[in-house]
Amino acid sequence: MEETEKLLQFLQKEGFIWGPEPEIYGGKAGFYTYAPMGKLLKNNVENYIRKHFQEENFWEVECPTIMPKIVWKASGHLDSFTDKVVECKNCSSSFKADEFVDEINVKDLKKFFKEKKIKCPNCGSVLSPDLKEHNLMMKTTIGLDEEAYFRPETATTTYLPFKRYYEHFRKKLPFGVFQIGKAYRNEISPRKSLIRLREFIQAEAQMFIFEKQKNSFKKYEKYKNLKIPLLPEEAQGKKEQAKKITLNEALKKKHFKSKAYAYAIALTYELFKGLGIEEKNIRFREHPSAEKIFYAYEAWDLEVKLNTFGWTEMVGVHDRTDYDLKQHQKFSNQPMSVFNIENNEKEIPNIIEIAFGCDRPIYALFDLFYDVKSREKGKTIFKVPVHLSPVKIAVLPLVNKDKIPEMAESIYKELNENTDLTVSYDDTASIGKRYLRQTMKGTALCLTVDYDSLKDKTVTLRERDTGKQIRVKRKDIIEKVNLFLKKGKF
């Protein structure tokens, strides 16, 4: 069985991801359910991202996911957020055209399909070269007849209340906001599990900043000596490894144009390292000029090396200049310029953006921490960093008699009431089976109540990855558990 297939089976079986949903009706590609273990993990990842941005003084907002047509006209999504679709006239299947194109820079897709006579993966007939434009936004109606669309990313909805932010943050730029929430894309043929979804969670942070502030940006100083793995445009295609250089050097070499942008790169890197992803599996890849979207003044992606799919885009970090606010000023007739105290002029601020989704980092955690080797020895250990573990501690009575369950239940209750940790209770099957079951779900610690516990009021704490056990006094449990979760070991 293929590695990817093994991983997906593990995710279904252990209660992480179910789907595609609705399963009982056959399932639609690109829609999944986060099952109980997956949802706990997802909450932990989202809260980790939240905390990361909050500590850097970004403030969270929650904007609507639906906006009327004019918003998407202004943002450019209505006209250009499209995929080219190729159809099979024989069996009516549809596919994303660029899935059939290996070469980069095929400008004339119609010509490509005409010449190559690509066959339909479904029925084998030759695909029609009459390509169609397919807008990826999900269309709907507000009220009886107003055309509206679900957002394909959080970004546009975050820009719109700029003047509200400006008042809220007492007219002082730069300031930062972020949003973690649903976005929707009507992909033609989504695949690769959580990597390409039709419904997903975006996490995007924006700094609103005057152009001149970009290179006198104080928060940058903290990170200037941070080494970052960069793969600039000129190194791409030469099989060259990303090189680690400091942000300071990167600015000198003109890889980045501003300190504020370099700061956004630093935040992104720290965020992914904090997820437990090893530095060797992270790199920043510059958008080649040919790929770069016209409004992106600077654009680098953070990529993670997955076991299943290789280097995969996780984040886009963009300096979008004043493009978006100018567009919305034009379409809404509402002035977006505000007073810049530093040069006594009214200006439209720039937006520097860190844009990613939560589902890909979660997939990366599955991919990187699902321990295949242990699996081959008959064990599966999900070695996700313990601060992200779905369940932090499982309480296990050794047997279901002799007052052992009573003590275990009372410890379970105590942990629930006096901590914010997610705790589970499991009293079925042999203790060995239960240990295995918990390691497969990534549970950080198992707490066992046995006959000695009744005598001397101690319990066993068992660590997931090593199986190492320590004996702990009942009254010290919470302290020991918290210490373990902080340090990652006893």
Our CB check for its own copies shows the closer of 2 and 55 to be 55
- Burial (0-12, 13-18, 19+ Cβ within 10 Å), 158: buried
Given 62, 147, 234, 479, the residue binding its own copies (CB under 8 A): 62
Contact with its own copies (CB under 8 A): which of 55, 102, 103, 108?
55
The nearest distance, CB 398 to its own copies, in angstroms, is 19
Name the one range near its own copies by CB under 8 A: 66-74, 261-269, 311-319, 345-353.
66-74
103-142: contacts with its own copies (CB under 8 A)? 134, 138-142
- Shortest reach from residue 18's CB to its own copies, in Å: 5
155 contributes a contact to its own copies by CB under 8 A: no
Q: Which tokens go with 247?
A: 């942000």
Site for its own copies in 219-238 (CB under 8 A): none
Among 67, 86, 354, 481, binds its own copies (CB under 8 A): 67
SS3 call for 89: coil
Which residue among 4, 94, 128, 215 contacts its own copies (CB under 8 A)?
A: 94
Tell me the per-residue interface mask from 309 to 338 with its own copies, x by CB under 8 A, - otherwise: -------------------x--xx-x----
Q: Interhelix angle for 36-55 vs 259-274, to 10°? A: 150
| Residue 190 or 229 with smaller CB distance to its own copies | 190
Which range of residues in 180-188, 225-233, 234-242, 379-387 is near its own copies by CB under 8 A?
180-188
Q: Which residue lies nearer to its own copies by CB, 103 or 145?
A: 145
Q: Is residue 81 involved in binding its own copies (CB under 8 A)?
A: no
Q: Specify burial of residue 330 (Cβ count, 10 A radius: 0-12, 13-18, 19+).
A: exposed
Residues 6+ apart with CB under 8 A from 338: 163, 166, 171, 173, 346, 347, 348, 349
User: Quick one: which segment of 178-186, 216-224, 361-369, 471-479 binds its own copies (CB under 8 A)?
Assistant: 178-186
Do 197 and 190 meet the contact criterion of CB atoms below 8 Å apart? yes
In DSSP notation, 35-52 reads -HHHHHHHHHHHHHHHHH
- Pairwise CA distance, residues 213 & 261, whole Å: 11
Measured distance CA(381)–CA(373) in Å, rounded:
9
Phi first, then psi: what are they for 299, rounded to 5°?
A: -155, 115
Q: Which of 179, 385, 354 has the alpha carbon at shortest distance from 275?
A: 385
Instruction: Decide if residue 76 touches its own copies (CB under 8 A).
Output: no
> What's the start-to-end Cα distance of the chain, in Å?
37
The angle at the Cα of 384, spanning 381 to 387, to the nearest 5 degrees, equals 135
CA 208/CA 168 separation, integer angstroms: 13
Among the candidate windows 61-69, 106-114, 241-249, 272-280, which touches its own copies by CB under 8 A?
61-69
Task: Tell me the β-bridge partners of 346.
Answer: 339
Q: Which of 7, 8, 45, 71 binds its own copies (CB under 8 A)?
A: 71
Q: Which stretch binds its own copies (CB under 8 A): 176-184, 240-248, 379-387, 394-402?
A: 176-184
- Residues 371-430 interacting with its own copies (rule: CB under 8 A): 416-417, 420, 422, 428
Contacts to its own copies from residues 243-302, by CB under 8 A:
none
Pairing of the two strands 350-357 and 370-371 = unpaired
Q: Is 63 in the site for its own copies (CB under 8 A)?
A: yes
Binds its own copies (CB under 8 A): choice among 198, 259, 285, 392: 198
CB nearer to its own copies: give 175 or 284: 175
DSSP label at residue 173: S
In whole angstroms, how close is the CB of 171 to its own copies at the nearest point?
A: 10
Applying CB under 8 A, the site for its own copies has a residue count of 72
Residue 113 CA to residue 101 CA, distance in Å, equals: 9
Footprint of its own copies on 5-44 (CB under 8 A):
15, 18-19, 21-25, 28, 31-36, 38-40, 42-43
Residue 150 binds to its own copies (criterion: CB under 8 A)? yes
Task: Check residue 168 for interaction with its own copies (CB under 8 A).
Answer: yes
**E strands, 248-335, in order:** 282-286, 298-306, 310-319
Question: Residue 186 CB, nearest distance to its own copies (Å)?
Answer: 7
Indicate which single residue of 1, 104, 105, 170 sits in contact with its own copies (rule: CB under 8 A).
170
- Subset of 351-370 contacting its own copies (CB under 8 A): none
Residue entry with tokens 């499982």: 394
For its own copies, the closer of residues 172 and 455 by Cβ is 172
Considering beta carbons, is residue 428 or 466 the nearer one to its own copies?
428
Closer of 231 and 275 to its own copies (Cβ): 275
Q: Supply 328's token pair.
A: 């919305």
Other CB atoms within a 10 A radius of the CB of residue 86 amount to 25
**Member of 111, 119, 164, 468 binding its own copies (CB under 8 A):** 164
428-457 residues near its own copies, rule: CB under 8 A: 428
Q: How far apart, in whole angstroms, are the C-alpha atoms of residue 184 and residue 150?
A: 6
Torsion 165-170-176-177 (CA) sign:
negative
